[in-house]
């Protein structure tokens, strides 16, 4: 049953879907009419809600990726799902893990990290910008994940406060400046991950990781191609999500 304060998705088709918070008196204005969101309180997921023009939306309990990519406000370039998924896998984190993240931005990656480490883990998220800290706080509250994150307005290149950390995950321009701090902060077997957009950053980071004594150093680029599926016409789509950046993974011995 839908309650006040729940975050739901109103779905019409793949291009017209909206993430909204259910509150009495609140409305959603769309090109298909106005929706009274308070009418959803007490109804079941899967029900249908009409706009004032009589057009129906189906009400869906959203997945986390839908809340993040459709519902979060953004002021920065954000990571693509294809990169986030690989980074989460290679981080080897699980419920109860303690993770340091830097370059919080709008909090997209932070949300996925927090969803994995809950209920007993913690994400210590560093960013130098008070604007981004405030934005990430708002977004994480929308996903009901703020309780698993400690947001810190601090330059991580000046040091990491936490010790015995399971993973250090970076989305910032100069990850090589954090390698020594990461080595000192990580537990034995802990994982270092960095996302960078250029080969120059990739090369510099990998070379410094080797100097600092990391092992299992790997650099990858993920390319994703989707398909148009229709009887007798199935084929790759014309638009390919090709280069978005490079992912560097290393391990503390």
Place of tokens 């993040």: 68
* Residue 156: how many other CB atoms lie within 10 Å: 27
Q: What is the structure's pLDDT at 92?
A: 97
Q: What is the structure's pLDDT at 112?
A: 98
pLDDT above 90 (res 242)? no
pLDDT band at 181 (very low <50, low <70, confident <90, very high): very high
Q: What is the structure's pLDDT at 201?
A: 98
Helices (H) and strands (E) in the chain, counts: 6, 15
pTM: 0.92
pLDDT digits (tens, 9 = 90+) for 110-164: 999 999 999 999 999 999 999 999 999 999 999 999 999 999 999 999 999 999 9
- In the chain, the domains with their CATH numbers are 7-62 (3.10.330.20), 68-251 (3.40.50.150)
pLDDT band at 241 (very low <50, low <70, confident <90, very high): confident
Q: Of all residues in the chain, what percent carry a pLDDT higher than 90?
A: 95
Query: What is the spatial distance between Cα 100 and Cα 102, in angstroms, rounded to a whole number?
Result: 7
Q: What is the structure's pLDDT at 28?
A: 92
Helical axes 130-142 vs 108-117, angle rounded to 10°: 50
* 136 membership: H or E segment, kind and range: helix 130-142
What is the full DSSP assignment across 68-130? IIIIS--SS----HHHHHHHHHHHT--TT-EEEEE--TTSHHHHHHHHHHTTT-EEEEEES-H
pLDDT above 90 (res 238)? no
> In terms of Cα–Cα distance, which of 166, 142, 165, 155 is closest to 71?
142
């Amino acid at each position: 049953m839908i309650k006040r304060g729940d975050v739901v998705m109103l779905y019409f088709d793949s291009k017209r879907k909206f993430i909204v918070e259910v509150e009495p008196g609140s409305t959603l204005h769309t090109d298909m009419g106005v929706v009274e969101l308070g009418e959803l309180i007490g109804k079941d997921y899967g029900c249908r809600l009409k706009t004032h023009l009589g057009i129906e939306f189906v009400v869906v309990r959203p997945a986390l990726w839908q809340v993040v990519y459709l519902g979060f406000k953004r002021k920065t370039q954000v990571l693509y799902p294809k990169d986030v998924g690989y980074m989460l896998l290679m981080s080897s984190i699980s419920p109860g893990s303690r993770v340091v993240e830097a370059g919080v931005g709008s909090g997209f990656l932070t949300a996925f990290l927090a969803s994995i480490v809950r209920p007993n883990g913690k994400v210590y998220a560093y960013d130098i910008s008070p604007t981004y800290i405030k934005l990430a706080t708002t977004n994480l509250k929308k996903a009901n994940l703020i309780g698993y994150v400690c947001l810190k307005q601090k330059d991580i290149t000046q040091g990491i406060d936490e010790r015995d950390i399971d993973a250090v995950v970076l989305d910032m321009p100069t990850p090589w400046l954090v390698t020594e701090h990461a080595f000192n902060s990580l537990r034995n077997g802990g994982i270092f991950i960095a996302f960078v957009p250029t080969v120059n950053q990739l090369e510099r980071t990998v070379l410094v990781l080797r100097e600092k004594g990391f092992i299992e150093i790997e650099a990858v680029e993920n390319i994703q191609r989707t398909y148009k599926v229709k009887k007798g016409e199935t084929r790759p789509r014309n638009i390919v999500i090709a280069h978005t950046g490079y992912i560097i993974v290393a391990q503390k011995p």
